[in-house]
Amino acid sequence: MAQNGVSQGADTHKNMILAEGVVKTFGQGEHMVTALDNVSVTIRQNEFFTLLGPSGCGKTTLLRLIAGFDLPDRGNILLDGQEIGHLPPYKRPVNTVFQNYALFPHMSVARNIGFGLEMQGRPAKEISEATDRMLALVQMEHLADRQTDQLSGGQQQRVALARALAPHPKVLLLDEPLSALDLKLRKEMQIELKRLQHETGITFVFVTHDQEEALTMSDRIAVMSAGDILQVGPPKEIYNNPARRFVADFIGDINILEADLTSGDTQATLPGGARINAILPNSWAPTGRVNVAIRPEDMALTQPGADNAALHGTVQNIVYFGSGHNVHVALDSGLDIIVRCAGTSHEVGALVGITLPDAVQVLVD
């Protein structure tokens, strides 16, 4: 794309989308559902931003408000510094890739891709050039004249992408676009999407309920639950330092243990008496009983009674999942936890010691 060099070099911290205090409810009276409850979020120019959460968390509603299919009850949505919350979808420089692709069945692949530019009243020459460029971008040149119902799921996906990218929107919205594809194709498209985002320099806002997908592709992730954004951050931060219990639970496998934290102390006391460094969420200093999160892969099994064994328990079950094993251990304190290891010499029923990482994340409920 011609814009490539320019947008890549642009100030990456410039805000592209700014949502402030957005509220959206559906239905009335008893049946009223609050889909978004006072949500504020900033999406930067040229980033791959993911809204991640279970179904019904409000992520698709937020996307539809940005696209203009629904209007917010309260709050502002700014695009590139301009208030757009009240504009109809056709007046917003934002395009959407729909979950079911929503390709026009009565048009050829090429006309689908050129549709946005056609509606903008661009000259025929520009439309056909842009269409050709988009077909090349998604490697679909050979299928330009096909009807869309003659395409496979993956091909339809590419056409939907090309159609949404052709008018070169400021923001591309993607509503769970990979959920209908099989695993192998989904993995390919994840890489493909990342490449497209890089090549076009367009801000991508991606909605998914698949945490692995979010971790793979995103520059930043917003984890949503029950109409609220719980945590925003880069994938590593979301994975390693989940601030909220919901975030920790939702992303990957995790062990949540109770621990005691005394005021001014940097260490938490685990059941059984082991002491461990505590990482506190920003500007929050809890005391007393707290929850701490430990990833299964951050622990290791060792001989019972070994010097570095902070916890002790009995192996309950060993689950093989290809690249390793999940060992389920019943701690002496009564809690069940999972420890991940590449191979294991331990057997079910064996007594084991468990080593801990240097520090654990303290969670806000």
Q: Which helix (H) or strand (E) holds 217?
A: helix 211-217
Judged by CB under 8 A, which of 76, 147, 267, 333 binds another protein?
A: 147
C-beta closer to another protein: residue 66 or 352? 66
C-beta closer to another protein: residue 74 or 106? 106
Q: How far is the CB of 113 from another protein (least distance, A)?
A: 10
What single letter denotes the amino acid at residue 345? S
Q: Which of residues 267-286 bind another protein (CB under 8 A)?
A: none
Q: In terms of Cα–Cα distance, which of 230, 233, 240 is closest to 360?
A: 240
Does the protein bind another protein through residue 102 (CB under 8 A)? yes
Using DSSP's 3-state secondary structure scheme, residue 309 falls into coil
Does the protein bind another protein through residue 128 (CB under 8 A)? no
Does the protein bind another protein through residue 15 (CB under 8 A)? no
Judged by CB under 8 A, which of 94, 310, 339, 354 binds another protein?
A: 94
C-beta closer to another protein: residue 147 or 269? 147
- Here's the x/- map for another protein, 158-177, by CB under 8 A: it reads as -----xx--x----------
Q: In terms of Cα–Cα distance, which of 42, 22, 44 is closest to 34?
A: 22
Judged by CB under 8 A, which of 75, 89, 234, 304 binds another protein?
A: 89
Q: How far is the CB of 349 from another protein (least distance, A)?
A: 47
Ordered DSSP codes for 83-136: E-TTS-GGGSSEEEE-TT----TTSBHHHHHHHHHHHTT--HHHHHHHHHHHHH
Does the protein bind another protein through residue 204 (CB under 8 A)? no
DSSP structure class, residue 58? S
Burial track 34-57 (b if 16+ CB lie within 10 A, e otherwise): bbbeebebbbbbbbbbbbbbeeeb
**Contact in structure between 223 and 250 (CB atoms under 8 Å):** yes
C-beta closer to another protein: residue 113 or 276? 113
C-beta closer to another protein: residue 147 or 333? 147
Does the protein bind another protein through residue 26 (CB under 8 A)? no
By DSSP bridging, strand 228-233 and strand 82-83 are unpaired
What single letter denotes the amino acid at residue 182? D
DSSP structure class, residue 280? P
Rounded distance between C-alpha atoms, residue 305 and residue 307, angstroms: 6
Using DSSP's 3-state secondary structure scheme, residue 64 falls into helix
Does the protein bind another protein through residue 180 (CB under 8 A)? no
| Range 177-183 contact pairs with CB under 8 angstroms and sequence separation of 24 or more | 177/97, 177/98, 177/99, 177/101, 177/206, 178/208, 178/210, 178/213, 179/99, 179/208, 179/209, 179/210, 180/99, 180/100, 180/153, 181/153, 181/154, 181/157
Q: How far is the CB of 118 from another protein (least distance, A)?
A: 8
C-beta closer to another protein: residue 129 or 228? 129
User: Residue by residue, what is the 3-state secondary structure of 167-180?
Assistant: CCCCEEEEECCCCC
Q: In terms of Cα–Cα distance, which of 273, 231, 271 is closest to 363?
A: 231
Q: How far is the CB of 284 from another protein (least distance, A)?
A: 41
By DSSP bridging, strand 275-279 and strand 359-363 are parallel
C-beta closer to another protein: residue 122 or 245? 122
Judged by CB under 8 A, which of 78, 87, 107, 226 binds another protein?
A: 107
**Judged by CB under 8 A, which stretch of 100-108, 220-228, 275-283, 353-361 contacts another protein?**
100-108
Q: How far is the CB of 198 from another protein (least distance, A)?
A: 23
Does the protein bind another protein through residue 90 (CB under 8 A)? yes
CA–centroid distance for 365 within its chain: 21
C-beta closer to another protein: residue 22 or 164? 164
Q: Which of residues 49-88 bind another protein (CB under 8 A)?
A: 67-69, 88
Q: How far is the CB of 67 from another protein (least distance, A)?
A: 6
C-beta closer to another protein: residue 40 or 128? 128
Q: Which residues of the chain form contacts with another protein (CB under 8 A)?
A: 67-69, 88-90, 94-96, 98, 100, 102-108, 111, 115-116, 119-120, 147, 163-164, 167
